[in-house]
């Protein structure tokens, strides 16, 4: 009799457990974040398929977002609002299209002037430094016809970033650095691409320097194919690369506090990865990172095979003739925009480039753009202008392909882009 009661009880409880599990699943969504020229954006949401839904209709969904961070002020229009759903399609749990999939993927509109799509924000932290940081990004997704709602983030996928190891740490004397890295598939000898972030990406989360301005693209299939595989190393400073002993900015007039530790990190990483071709180590960065890239070239002119530097923040007036001559034979490609008011080209890259050319530098280039524009043409193309400081967009996108006089950069009489050029440089 007791056994019969147990069986009956199981029949009664099992449906309730099933309903509860389905309810939990229905309340949970998966968030997808992609890297764009201007930074990361939430562009897809994956939810369990609604039973009555055949096929998925994007207009049936409403997506509301709340962006917040403790002690961080959000301006009007960036704290909360409705996200526009562009279309919907049947998929598996990872968002891959599948006509028989048990999930629906919603594709959301993103744009450089739409703060509601961004999961990060540039704000001033407790240490007084402003930087890009992840914020709380809460969605409420509703299938209006059925009233089904999902309001809990169950999983977050960042395909561009998920291929990196973000656990790297390194200490040198009293300096602690973090870093992200990517290793190419296969065996053999591969070059190393080093990227140094700008002043807004300091901290202790190496994902920020990679995603905040699309440096993840150096591990993309397109650029990896150009190099036939390449390691990517993205070190991160807890503050900013141009910090002097006093805590103020240096523009080359005084020493910074990080270059020794950074060089030690690079050598340590190379030593631990014997697959790196030490004759093909490339150093590049933007703004603060452009300063530091040039600093390392000046300090270690025989170590790197080439440099690729955008929005250079190192002031030309603080580079001596002896220093100039020490780097004139290093292949360097500069990228800058004429309307950069943060790292003014007339104080930084233009006179340095002209001095290098006058000194007989055989392989130095400068792509000087009028403006930083929308490369994919979706937001206005040439008519849409990003801040002039953001010239690193042209490096990450492998768009730079011309020299200071407007002529194409050539290798063996063939026009090349900045990454195609970089891949051909070696000591």
Q: What is the pLDDT of residues 303-330, one digit of tens each?
A: 999 999 999 999 999 999 999 999 999 9
Indicate which CATH number applies to the domain containing 364: 3.40.50.1820
Burial status of residue 186 (CB atoms within 10 A of its CB: 0-12, 13-18, 19 or more): exposed
Categorize the per-residue pLDDT at 16 as very low, low, confident or very high, splitting at 50, 70 and 90: very low
Rounded Cα distance, 315 and 20, in Å = 63
Percent of the chain with pLDDT over 90: 89
Instruction: For 4-33, give the secondary structure using H, E and C.
Output: HHHHHHHHHHHHHHHHHHHHHHHCEEEEEE
Per-residue confidence band for 171, with pLDDT thresholds at 50, 70 and 90: very high
Proportion of the chain above pLDDT 70, given as a percent: 94
Is the distance from CB of 372 to CB of 390 less than 8 angstroms? yes
Question: Structural domain of residue 135, as residue ranges?
Answer: 27-155
Average pLDDT over residues 126-155: 93
3-state helix, strand, coil in the chain (%, to 5): 25, 35, 40
Q: Are 301 and 231 contained in the same domain? A: yes
Asked whether residue 169 falls in the same domain as residue 298, the answer is yes
Helix axes 288-299, 259-272, angle to 10 degrees: 80
- Domain identity same for 164 and 150: no
Identify whether residues 343 and 200 lie together within a single domain: yes
Please indicate, yes or no, if residue 15 is contained in any of the structural domains. no
Q: What pLDDT does residue 333 have?
A: 98
pLDDT tens column, 353-379: 999 999 999 999 999 999 999 999 999
Tell whether 268 and 409 lie within a shared domain: yes
pLDDT at 271 over 60: yes
| 131 and 209 both lie in a single domain | no
pLDDT band per the 50, 70, 90 thresholds, residue 26:
low
Q: Is the pLDDT score of 11 beyond 80?
A: no
Q: What is the pLDDT of residue 78?
A: 95
Q: What is the CATH number of the domain that holds 44?
A: 2.60.40.2180
Residues 149 and 176 in one domain: no
Domain end marker among 112, 139, 155: 155
The average pLDDT across 206-222 equals 97
From CA 407, how far away is CA 334, in angstroms rounded?
A: 15
Question: H or E element: which one contains 90?
Answer: strand 85-91
- Provide the number of structural domains found in the chain: 2
Residue 68 reports pLDDT greater than 90: yes
Question: Which among 155, 180, 208 is the end of a domain?
Answer: 155
In a domain, 16, yes or no: no
Mean pLDDT of 387-402: 98
pLDDT greater than 80 at residue 9: no
Q: Quick one: pLDDT at residue 76?
A: 86
Whether residue 72 lies inside any domain: the answer is yes
Mean pLDDT of 298-306: 98
pLDDT score at 277: 98
Q: Looking at the predicted structure, is the pLDDT value of residue 382 above 80? A: yes
pLDDT(22) > 80: no
- pLDDT at residue 186 greater than cutoff 70: yes
For the chain, what is the mean pLDDT?
A: 93
Whether residues 141 and 194 share a domain: the answer is no
pLDDT at 265 exceeding the cut of 60: yes
Please give the pLDDT value at position 18.
37
Same domain, 191 and 100: no
Shared domain check, 313 and 282 = yes
Q: Are residues 174 and 44 in the same domain?
A: no
Backbone angles phi, psi at 172, to 5 degrees: -140, 115
Q: Are residues 254 and 138 in the same domain?
A: no
Among the residue ranges 7-11, 302-306, 406-410, the one predicted with the least confidence is 7-11
pLDDT at 339 over 80: yes
pLDDT band at 52 (very low <50, low <70, confident <90, very high): confident
Last residue within a domain, chosen from 111, 126, 155: 155
């Amino acid at each position: 009799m007791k056994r019969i009661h147990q069986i009956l009880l199981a029949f009664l409880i099992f449906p309730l457990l099933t309903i509860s599990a389905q309810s939990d699943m229905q309340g949970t969504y998966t968030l997808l974040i992609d890297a764009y020229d201007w930074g990361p954006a939430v562009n897809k949401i994956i939810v369990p398929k609604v039973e009555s839904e055949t096929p998925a209709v994007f207009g049936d969904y409403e997506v509301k977002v709340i962006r917040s961070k403790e002690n961080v002020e959000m301006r009007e229009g960036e704290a909360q609002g409705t996200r526009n759903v562009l279309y919907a399609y049947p998929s598996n749990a990872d968002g891959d299209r599948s006509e028989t999939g048990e999930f629906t993927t919603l594709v959301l509109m993103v744009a450089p002037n739409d703060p509601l799509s961004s999961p990060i924000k540039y704000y001033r932290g407790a240490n007084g430094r402003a930087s890009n940081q992840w914020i709380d990004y809460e969605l409420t997704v509703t299938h209006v016809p059925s009233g089904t709602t999902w309001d809990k983030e169950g999983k977050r996928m960042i395909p561009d970033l998920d291929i990196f190891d973000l656990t790297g740490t390194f200490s040198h004397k009293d300096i602690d650095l973090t870093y992200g890295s990517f290793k190419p598939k296969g065996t053999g000898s591969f070059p190393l691409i080093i990227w140094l972030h700008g002043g807004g990406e300091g901290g202790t989360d190496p994902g920020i320097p990679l995603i905040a301005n699309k440096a993840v693209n150096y591990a993309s299939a397109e650029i990896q194919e150009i190099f036939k595989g390449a390691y990517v190393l993205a070190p991160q400073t807890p503050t900013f690369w141009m910090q002097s002993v006093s805590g103020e900015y240096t523009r080359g007039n005084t020493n910074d506090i990080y270059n020794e530790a950074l060089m030690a990190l690079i050598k340590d990483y190379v030593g631990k990865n014997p697959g790196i071709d030490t004759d093909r180590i490339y150093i590049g960065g933007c703004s603060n990172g452009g300063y530091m890239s040039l600093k390392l070239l000046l300090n270690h002119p025989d170590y790197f095979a080439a440099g690729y530097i955008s929005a250079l923040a190192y002031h030309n007036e603080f580079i001596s003739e002896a220093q100039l001559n020490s780097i004139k034979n290093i292949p360097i490609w500069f990228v800058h925009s004429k309307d950069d008011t943060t790292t003014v080209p007339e104080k930084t890259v233009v006179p340095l480039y002209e001095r290098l050319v006058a000194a007989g530098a055989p392989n130095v280039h400068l792509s000087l753009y009028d403006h930083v524009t929308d490369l994919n043409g979706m937001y206005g193309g040439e008519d849409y202008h990003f801040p002039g400081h953001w010239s690193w967009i042209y490096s990450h996108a492998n768009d730079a392909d011309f020299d200071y006089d407007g002529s194409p950069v050539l290798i063996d009489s063939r026009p090349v882009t900045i990454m195609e050029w970089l891949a051909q440089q070696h000591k």
